[in-house]
Chain A
């Protein structure tokens, strides 16, 4: 089982291969396309993350002390970004999620390729992930 930091390092290595922004975007688009769509039961307003220009839905479950995240979006680049977040955060213990320092976004240069609106949306997603983790931790 990889740690959150190990997964982040793996993503950073993958992005090192890309030579320009268009390859990074193409990769995000492909990731977005490969992330399964939610069914309509989960595409509900209570799962929406506020602060994104596109709609982003985040769902979580908690089993055997592990948090599982699922997410969806109506915009494909957002979906690609959340697919990376799920890869990083899903399947870990709440305390590990809460303690994780997220450095891959900066290191893969994503922050410089996101508009302020998008960057705020990304922060809102991470915040929501951590809020879920905190809720599950306090339930234990």
Chain B
């Protein structure tokens, strides 16, 4: 039985008072809040298990190692992956992308092409631009349509034998659009191109089976899934991860070191140089347990209800313009009211204790497409309520009146 008010009791921060009023947290696309179970896991680690993993013979190290590796199993199972070593722990989505883009420097050539989309986060644009600068490869961009979806016909026409890689996000962080990644992957594979999906937004809202999806690489961050910041993972098919050169040199990632030559360790350690964020990784596993205890079906249903309720009520506000108003979205709404600058709306909402994001959301190409300086973005999570949306709508109407 899904009881949002019961769930909210797990999140201490939701009781906070901000600007003399109850906090309404609608910036979940930037980072989700952390339940007490995850906070306790971090604190327990430092109280009871703190030691370095994989190296120590002593019991403490053995305990920490087994918990760390247990987290890898949890991530593997949650995301429908068959092998533990195909899950590489990272510091987050951006780190995962950089492991792949850095590895491709020795694989891509100047005759190759790569494809990204016009609705990517800067972190899924800039590493590929840098890759193209270094290799001379050409970057092509799938355009977006006015309803905030990708132009798949255009994508089909861009695929040709030169295209080696396709990099697309699962869900747009700005518009909330869920991209048809099954189709994107299938078409790419028919073209012998590999695909990396940026799952920073998708993983938090949708149940995903990576083996069924048959994607080549998938990256995501723990902090969007009720986990801690500074942790994420890169999934890659074994043979592809094995073919990529190591990203960073250091301890843990080697099997034999002499001054003449170093042999690298097997997956996943090859890409996990140095002491990782052990507490964070363990807490990430606990966060997945937590979300699964609520159930992704319940999460999706509740968030859909919030999205529909908010969209319906937002549309009643004079002068509102919602960007990416389509029926394939997660609970993210980007909008503007009249000619009011998004930062003016955001500042006033903050005075009402309502946290939203304003600006370009690290997606300048989307802003250029719609010819706007930015948007106000409200993003809901499973612990948000309809009464919070009522407060939000009420505050928006007041803000709009104040701005005239």
- Give A contacts to B, CB under 8 Å: 21-22, 25-26, 29, 33, 53-55, 74-78, 113-115, 118
Contacts and interface: CB of A to CB of B under 8 A. Distances in A.
Contacts of B348: 25, 77
Given A25-B402, A26-B402, A29-B404, A76 B341 contact: yes
Contacts of A118: 343, 347
B19 interface: yes
A74 to B, nearest CB: 6
Q: Which of A21, A74, A77 has the most CB of B within 10 A?
A: A77
- Interface range on chain B: under 10, 10 to 19, 20 to 34, or 35 or more? 10 to 19
Interface string B4-36: 000000000000000100000000000000000
Contacts, number: 47
B359 interface: yes
Contact of A115 (B341, B350, B373, B402): B350
Given A53-B359, A74-B341, A74-B373, A113 B351 contact: yes
Question: Which 7 A/B pairs are nearest by Cβ-Cβ distance?
Answer: A75-B341, A54-B343, A53-B343, A75-B343, A77-B344, A75-B344, A21-B351
B347 A77 contact: yes
A37 to B, nearest CB: 13
Main secondary structure of the interface of A (DSSP, over half): helix
Contacts of B404: 29, 33
A113 B346 CA distance: 12
A25 B374 CA distance: 21
B358 A53 contact: yes
Contact of A22 (B341, B344, B351): B351
Given A25-B348, A26-B402, A115-B347, 7 more contacts: A53-B343, A75-B341, A75-B344, A76-B341, A76-B344, A78-B344, A115-B350
A25 B402 CA distance: 8
A10 B338 CA distance: 34
B340 interface: yes
Interface string B313-353: 00000000000000000000000000011011011101100
B17 to A, nearest CB: 14
A76 B403 CA distance: 8
A64 to B, nearest CB: 36
A94 B358 CA distance: 36
Contacts of A77: 343-344, 347-348
A125 to B, nearest CB: 14
B341 A29 contact: no
Nearest to B346: A115
A29 B373 contact: no
15 contacts: A21-B19, A21-B351, A22-B351, A22-B402, A25-B351, A26-B402, A29-B344, A29-B402, A29-B404, A53-B374, A76-B340, A76-B344, A76-B403, A77-B344, A78-B341
Contact of B343 (A21, A22, A25, A78): A78
Contacts of B402: 22, 25-26, 29
